[in-house]
Structures are given as structure tokens and as C-alpha cells.
Chain A
Amino acid sequence: MIAPAGVQALQVLTVLFAAPLVSGVTSHVEARFQGRRGPRVLQPYYDLAKLFRKETVVPEGSSWVFLAGPVVAFGCYLIVPLLIPVLTTYGLPLGYMGDILGGGMVLALGGFATALAASDSGAPYAQLGASRATTFGALIEPTVLFVVFIVAMITSTDLPYALAATVRSSSEAVRPSHVLVAVAFFLVVLADTGRIPVETHSGTIEFGMIDEARALEHSGAPFALTKWGSAIKQLVLYTILINVFVAPWGLASSGKVLDVLVAVLSLVGKALLLGVIFALIDNSFSKLRLFKITEYLAAAFLLACLGVLVFYVGGA
């Protein structure tokens, strides 16, 4: 048996150490789809190790905010796995510290810290990235709110554990509102992790850069933290999508060592599968023009909105 506090720590550690693997596998698969050999699956770990050994260069005129930003963001992204069902079906001691909105706020705080650091660097591209990320973040927000509304209406709570339990118990029939909300959240994850319809996550094309541009001025250990942080954020969003909305199966229902081990492996497996799907999407669509992104986000909002209407008014 593993004590609940231990399982809780394990949730954070799983996300912490599996995140680069998910990124690595995704970019490897993506390269394979394009007929390239692609980077090694473990390349993100090597990158991080290299960056941690490098010296840190700070732009002239920037203050402590520039160095604190990546650390704060990294911390924020690590708090969220405490709140969501990463490994267990039952709530852990700190799991009720915050609901979905709380988790969303902590994630947004991380984004805010990164944006602040980017603005403090004084570099135009970093500031442009920060400004764009904040603007599109504000446009994503209504969709996320409606997603939370639907969760709240389906389960009468706003705890992610409750929705996962509802999904598990009603496997024989799928609620239309639940399908809509899952698709809407999928689109949000696609936008929030800087994937193809919104942003090319690997290239450095100035015109289309959003998230990538924010970290341009960082170097050394803070840059490593930024990269690692965005990998963690990606895995956290994947986990929410998988373990709350789409496939909350394979989670541990007790603290037994075997159960927890299975949960860790199934989480990583499901996240890798989702990563492959995202790589497929990356290769099948072209990037939207910056001013067309609002239409993409409007589509996500439409789905969430219809979900609320269908549930609230139609009772389905």
C-alpha cells in the first residue's frame, strides 16, 4: 500500500518526468509521418540536461522578474497535477484544495508569469509573443468557462473527479452535451499547446509565433525550465482531456502498489496515444492565418455553447 500523500507526490512526479517523453515521442512520430528520421525519443531529456549545464545570459536592463518568471510558471504547472485525477479514481487529500476553476487559474497564473518575464526582457519578439498569447488566452477563456459550466451541470459539482466518475459509470450511453464538451475541450487543448491550426510549435516563423516567441530571450537553466514547463503544461492538459473527459479508465482505485503502477503506465500510454493523434493533426492541416484563429476559437466556443444549451434546455 502507498499512503495517499505518497500517491499524491507520485502524481506530480509522473507528470514531471513523463512530460518530456510525451513531447519527444510526439515530435518523433511527427517526423516519421513527414518521411524524416526525426529526433530521438529521449531528445527532450538531453536538451534539458544540456541547457541546465549552460550559463544564463540576461538581457540588459531586465530585472529579477525575468529570472523569476520561468520558476513561478514551472511551480504553477506542477501544482495542477495535485488537483486533477492523474492516477486515482478517488480524491487525494490535497485534491479538494481547488476545483476545475482553481486548476485553470493556476495554469493561467503560470502563463501570466511567463508573459511577464517576456515583457520584462524588453525584446520585441518576446513581447509580441506575450501579447499574442494573452490575447488568444482571453479568447479561449469563454470556451473553458462554458466547459466548466457543463461539467458543473452534469455532475452538480465542479470537481474533475466527479465528472470522471460520471463518465465511467455511464459507458453504455453517451450524452450529446458530453460529446460536445469533449470536442470543445480538445480544440482548446490544441490551441493551448500551440499545435498546428493555431501555431507551428517547432518552427520559428515570426509572423505566426505565439507561445514559442515568449521564451526567445531565455537561456541556460531558466530556458530549460520554460521548455520543461511547457511540456508539463501539455501533459497536464492531455491528462485533463483523457482522465476527465474522454477515457478515465485504468486509474487506480486503491493505493496498492500494483494498481498505482498500472495507473502510471496507462496514463503515459494514453498520453502517448493522444500525442500521436496530435501529430497526425499537425501533418494533415495547415496553420491558420493569425486573424483566422478567432474563427477557430469561435468554433470551439460554439460547441461548448451548444453543449450548455442541449443539456440545460434539452435535458440531454
Chain B
Amino acid sequence: MGPVPSGYASGADIAALLVLLTEFAMLRAPQLRSQVRLYGFQSFVVVVLTLVTGAVRGYSDLYILAGLSLLLKVVIVPALMFRLLRQLDVDQLHHPAGGGGGSMVLVAIAASAFGFFVLRSLDFRSKVLPTATLSVSLAIVLVAFVLVILRSDVVSQAVGFFSLENGVSIVSMAIAAGLPVVVEVSFLFDLLVAVVVFALIMRAHHARAGTLSTEALDRLRG
């Protein structure tokens, strides 16, 4: 039994856990719009974590990063996704999330447990964030993968990819908080490119199949 964590450490852990729980909520969200909303909330938690970490640990670079992420991930990306969904005029899928809701969650729990155990055996230590936050962020990345693999609609896959970036940004904050701001910003730029690409895919897919569900792709067998 370890010592009781300090206020900052447990706050960081709880923030990371919130991000992980939103990831699980995305897994089960029935509506595409609520998924985008969840992504906005998740990004907001990451921004708050970045700000607090910057303040507590004294990395002023993190303020710039937090400001840019707030603008991009909390405002611009969700707004673009909402606009796209409005234009395509789809919200509810015909088969929301497929069958077996419980088993999807169980698979995701197994994936996050795997992440926790892997990180424990690596014996990584972070100077900036508590160890639990690091393992939670690895779990976030893995659950995002599960989301992308198991949900069969383009929006979930796009949102899964974006939230993967949220997980990665917590990891990068934990192991390399002193990273030059240019590198961090280039991550965000990656995200912007991904948004453009996914928007194109969504439009193209919707134009061809008339739906956002990727199950329609089965019909394209040659």
C-alpha cells in the first residue's frame, strides 16, 4: 500500500480517469452528435489538465499549448463536425453501435487493463505527472483503438482518432513536458490535417453509400 497521493497527483489522476471514462461513453453513445459533444468535453478536460500541470510544475510552454488546444480541439473541431453532420443531415444510425453493448465494454475494459499492466511492467516514472496518470493515458489510447475498430460508422472512427490524439497528448505531457512548443504544436497541426481528411472521407462515403455506416462497404465486394 503506497502513501496517500497529494492533492495535485490525485487531481491529475481523476482528470485522466475522466478522459478515459468519456472514451468509454463514446463507445456506447447512440447518437453521432453526442459523440462529438463528448469529444469536446474530453478535450476540455485535457486542456484543464495541461493548464494545471503548467501552473504547478512551472512550464510556461504548456500555457501556449493549452490555449491552442482549447481553440482547436474544444471549439474548431467539434464545430466543424457539427457543421458536417448538419450538412449531411444524419444523426441516428440504423444500427447504433451494433449488438452486444456489454461485451463491447468488456473488450474495452480488457484493453485498458492490458495498458495498465504493460506500463507497470515497463516501470516508467514520470517527473511531471503521477504514474497512474501515465497508465490511464495508455489505456485511453487503447480504448480509442477499440472504439475505432468496433464502431462501424465513419463519425465514430473520426472521433476515435481525434480522441486518440487526446490520449497521446497526455502521454507526451507526462514523459516530456519540457518538449519544445513547436513539436507540441505540430501534433495539433496533425490533428487539423486529420480533420480535413476525415471530413473528405465522410463526404465521399456519404455521397456513395448514402449513409455514414461502414457496414455498407460490405456490399462493395468485387
Give me the interface of A with B, judged by CB distance under 8 Å.
Answer: 153-154, 156, 170, 172-176, 179-180, 294-295, 298-299, 301-303, 305-306, 309-310, 313-316
Given contact pairs A298-B102, A313-B119, A306 touches B17 in the complex (Cβ within 8 A): yes
Known: A174-B10, A180-B17. A298 touches B101 (CB 8 A): yes
Task: Say whether, besides A298-B101, A298-B102, A314-B132, A309 and B5 are in contact (CB < 8 Å).
Answer: no
- Known interface pairs A302-B24, A309-B116. Does A314 touch B13 (Cβ–Cβ under 8 Å)? yes
A305-B109 contact given A176-B10, A294-B102, CB 8 Å threshold:
yes
A176 touches B132 (CB 8 A): yes
Q: Given A298-B102, A313-B117, answer yes or no on A176-B28 (Cβ-Cβ < 8 Å).
A: no
Chain A residues whose CB sits within 8 angstroms of the CB of B106 once the complex forms: 298
Question: A314 to chain B: which residues have CB within 8 Å?
Answer: 13, 116, 120, 130-133, 135-136
Specify which of A302, A303, A316 is in contact with B9 (CB 8 Å cutoff): A316
Binary CB contact string for chain B from 109 to 137 against chain A (1 if under 8 A, 0 otherwise):
10011001101100000000011110110
Q: A313-B119, A313-B120, A315-B131 are in contact. Are A175 and B112 (CB under 8 A)?
A: no
- Nearest-CB distance from B12 to chain A (Å)? 9
The 12 listed contacts between A and B (C-beta, < 8 Å) are A154-B1, A173-B7, A294-B101, A295-B102, A299-B24, A302-B21, A306-B17, A309-B135, A314-B130, A316-B2, A316-B9, A316-B131
**Which residue of chain A has the shortest Cβ distance to B118 in the bound complex?**
A313
Docked pose: A174 CA to B17 CA in angstroms: 14
Q: Which residue of A lies closest to B2 (CB)?
A: A315
**Chain A contact surface mostly:** helix
Residue B20 at the A interface, CB < 8 A?
yes
Interface size class of B (residues with CB under 8 A): 20 to 34
Are A175 and B4 in contact, CB atoms less than 8 angstroms apart? yes
Q: Is the CB of A315 within 8 A of B6?
A: no
Residues on B lying within 8 angstroms of A by beta carbon are 1-2, 4-7, 9-10, 13-14, 17, 20-21, 24, 28, 101-102, 105-106, 109, 112-113, 116-117, 119-120, 130-133, 135-136, 139
Q: Are A173 and B10 in contact (CB under 8 A)?
A: yes
- Interfacial chain B residues near A313, Cβ < 8 Å: 116-117, 119-120, 132, 135
Other A-B pairs beyond A173-B10, A295-B28, A313-B119, 5, CB < 8 Å: A154-B1, A302-B105, A305-B109, A313-B120, A314-B130
Q: Smallest distance from the beta carbon of B141 to chain A beta carbons, Å? A: 15
Alpha-carbon gap, A309 to B131, bound state (A): 12
Nearest chain A CB to B124 CB, angstrom units:
11
Contacts of A302 in B (CB 8 A): 21, 24, 105, 109
Closest chain A CB from B145 CB (angstroms): 17
